[in-house]
Amino acid sequence: MAKVLVFIDAPGDALKKGHLELLTLARSLGESVVALNGELSAAVSAAFGEYGVASVLRPSAADLDDYLVAPKAAFVAAAAQGSDAQIVLLDNSAEGREIAARAGIRLSAGVITDAVAVDADGTAHKSVLAGSYTTTCRATTAVAVITVKGNNLEPAAAAAPTTPEVLTVELPASGSSADARITARVQKVASGRPDLADARIVVAGGRGVDGDFSAVEALADALGAAVGASRAATDAGWISHDAQVGQTGKTVSPQLYISAGISGAVQQKAGMQTAKVIVAINKDAESPVFEIADLGIIGDLFDVLPQATEEIKRRKG
């Protein structure tokens, strides 16, 4: 049976849906082991047992979060070596992909990013070229490091819960001249909306909102959705850059993606092409987004979105 290592970073008081998806996937591939950076709360420990984790590995150094990704990559590599893992799974965030690349170098491992599924033999499946093709790939090395997009399988607890053993992985002291230290942090204001990368529904606005995201945000709140944006909208300063979806932003894979006022250039498609259902709203009938949309609405988003919001509220009320 293969050993599968899952890296989980700073889970807080409870595991996120994306974490549970990775644990579910890992269990389907073999014996799952977790490399945990952060506090191991009672709720998180219980969740590991519920999802069939065999052991939890924690770093000997407590200051990994004082630096950028280099110490975390070193921890993942050491955890993989110590547990004899053949497959290493990480989330597909920008940081997850960088940690995967750095850990891959340390492990002399093949690295696969943007996977939407992984088979028992380590074969990864990817959706490419704006969803036009599904490709399969597999690392030929002894260890494969794979980042997995969220919302591509339903979390499922193990049939038989476990009591994970907690072990320590020895690391060299952090703080070398090669490490970039974090000097300050600013608390992000909580919006009450789900995290963009894990959201089951995303409502995204682009150049067509002309600086006014109120209609997009109102629909998102009615649906319990996350708010996304195109690069044009974030570059214009209409919304923060952490809302950007696309090739140079976040990659999302929700059950429903609503695109409002976004042309759908290839850079945008790269970030949302694996959404299960795509609804596009644009005044321009020739917009590229309609090529991949499951449902297209040709119209002004400031007419369409408020009507949709009111109808959703009416049905919910």
Question: 147 with 113: CB under 8 angstroms?
Answer: yes
Q: Is the pLDDT of residue 172 over 80?
A: no
Tens digits of residue pLDDT in 10-22: 999 999 999 999 9
230 appears as a binding residue in the annotation:
yes
pTM: 0.81
Q: Kindly state the tokens that stand for 299.
A: 């119209």
Assign 130 a pLDDT band (cuts: 50, 70, 90): low
Mean pLDDT on 262-287: 87
Mean pLDDT on 138-150: 95
Residue 192 has a pLDDT of 82
> Could you tell me where the beta strands, DSSP code E, fall in the chain?
3-9, 31-37, 55-59, 87-91, 110-118, 124-128, 133-137, 144-148, 165-169, 201-205, 226-229, 256-260, 277-282, 295-298
247 appears as a binding residue in the annotation:
yes
244 appears as a binding residue in the annotation:
yes
Average pLDDT, the chain: 91
User: Which has the minimum average pLDDT: 99-108, 162-171, 185-194, 271-280?
Assistant: 185-194
261 appears as a binding residue in the annotation:
no
Burial of 181 (0-12, 13-18, 19+ CB in 10 A): exposed
Give the range with max mean pLDDT: 170-174, 197-201, 243-247, 255-259: 255-259
Give the range with max mean pLDDT: 63-67, 188-192, 258-262: 258-262
Assign 150 a pLDDT band (cuts: 50, 70, 90): confident
Q: What structural domains and CATH numbers belong to the chain?
A: 3-169 (3.40.50.620), 201-316 (3.40.50.1220)
Residue 283 has a pLDDT of 95
Residue 187 has a pLDDT of 76
User: Which has the minimum average pLDDT: 54-58, 182-186, 221-225, 299-303?
Assistant: 182-186
Residue 175 has a pLDDT of 47
Question: Nearest CA to 158 among 54, 77, 268?
Answer: 54
Give 192 or 137, the one with higher predicted confidence: 137
118 appears as a binding residue in the annotation:
no
Residue 178 has a pLDDT of 57
Q: Is the pLDDT of residue 123 over 90?
A: yes
> Could you tell me where the beta strands, DSSP code E, fall in 152-247?
165-169, 201-205, 226-229
| Amino acid of residue 153 | L
Tens digits of residue pLDDT in 200-224: 999 999 999 999 999 999 999 999 9
Residue 213 has a pLDDT of 97
User: What Cα–Cα distance (Å) separates residue 248 from each residue in 231, 237, 242, 267, 268?
Assistant: 8, 16, 11, 8, 9
What percent of the chain has a predicted confidence (pLDDT) above 70?
96
Assign 174 a pLDDT band (cuts: 50, 70, 90): low
